[in-house]
Amino acid sequence: MSPHITTSSEANGNVSAATARATERAAERAEAAGPRPVTFAKALNTALADAMEADAGVVLFGEDIGTLGGVFRITDGLTARFGVERCFDTPLAESGIAGMAIGMAMNGMRPVIEMQFDAFAYPAFEQIASHLAKMRNRTRGAVDMPVVVRIPYAGGIGGVEHHCDSSEAYYAHTPGLKVMTPSTVSDAYRMMREAIASNDPVVFLEPKKLYFSKDPVDLDALRTEYEAAAAAGEHPTEGHAAVARAGTDATLIAYGPSVSTALAAAAAAAEEGRSLEVIDVRSIVPFDDEAVCASVRKTGRAVVISEAPGFASVASEITARVQERCFHSLAAPVLRVTGFDIPFPAPKLEGFFLPGVDRILDTVDSLQWED
């Protein structure tokens, strides 16, 4: 067979295609410049695209994330932009998805995998807990595991069984995993970029009810901010909680989908003359004891809020840590507002199960207040 000789028309076509792609990227960046309403989903999509642009070793795969762009469209357009070799669909086999990611990470790649829904991830748990979490320790640090496990999780969308669950405690209890969950559009971008850059495996929990929430965000500024921090070796979100609302009378400690509920409760309390500080945990593992305890020592009271059932939960761990570290600063016991200790209910009962403003305010009222 004779070798293929590139003709001038083919060369011109290749140049034209490359120019078109460059023009498209420039247009996207120009559109992103300056604060504008951006959805949580778009921030994640942009973070994934920027990470893929910056590192050819970043690959995305999972069920329906290629041509469809994912159930929630988080990977929309990424297959068309980066090709099927870097963003592709897999069979319906979560254990196989996780196992393949481990093998790819062992060979120098940075896989980002999607579990589609929280309760769909359980078939992959053996791979995650037994191998992904333990590989660096098993090899005495010789083998990195730069894998991000993306999991749309928690309630608020009226999903049926297996489509809404709060599984953070399983992963937080597994040594070797980082567990992160953003609650704002800006943090969705920042935290995804940091997760992908990590050499440790990250379980990245994405609150489903926030996917189409919007905030005014400058994506170009976020990109520049992240790149500057990364160049300096800084990780502004990993292991760092944030003060979502300042207050003086009590601290509401929340993460992921519960942060917006805590903020709504704080706003309602302010109308009654009570000042509540809201702490957004952001990084469940590693946990920011310093920032959380600084707030509780200031206010003297704390309520931990989480959608997951309360028994043996992340909320239980936060409560214990605060109680141990802030005992002499507390005016009342640390209390919790969580989901009930039952399987996630049918859609019409979801509102009774999830922590709401009234339950939070009733719990705050039960803290030992002086007359």
Domains identified in the chain and CATH numbers: 20-231 (3.40.50.970), 242-366 (3.40.50.920)
User: CA–CA separation, 37 vs 209, rounded Å?
Assistant: 17
Q: State the average pLDDT over residues 50-55.
A: 98
Burial class (CB in 10 A: 0-12, 13-18, 19+), 217: buried
pLDDT tens digits, 73-88: 999 999 999 999 999 9
Closest to 105 in 3D by CA, of 199, 221, 191: 199
Residue among 4, 131, 162, 163 flagged as catalytic: 163
Q: State the average pLDDT over residues 8-22.
A: 54
Work out whether strand 36-39 and strand 214-217 pair parallel, antiparallel, or are unpaired: antiparallel
Burial class (CB in 10 A: 0-12, 13-18, 19+), 301: buried
**Would you say residue 6 has pLDDT above 50?**
no
Q: What is the mean pLDDT of the chain?
A: 92
Output the pLDDT for position 370.
Answer: 74
Is 240 annotated in the active site? no
User: CA–CA separation, 134 vs 110, rounded Å?
Assistant: 17
pLDDT band (50, 70, 90) for residue 30 = low
- Tokens 């963003």, located at residue: 87
**Would you say residue 1 has pLDDT above 70?**
no
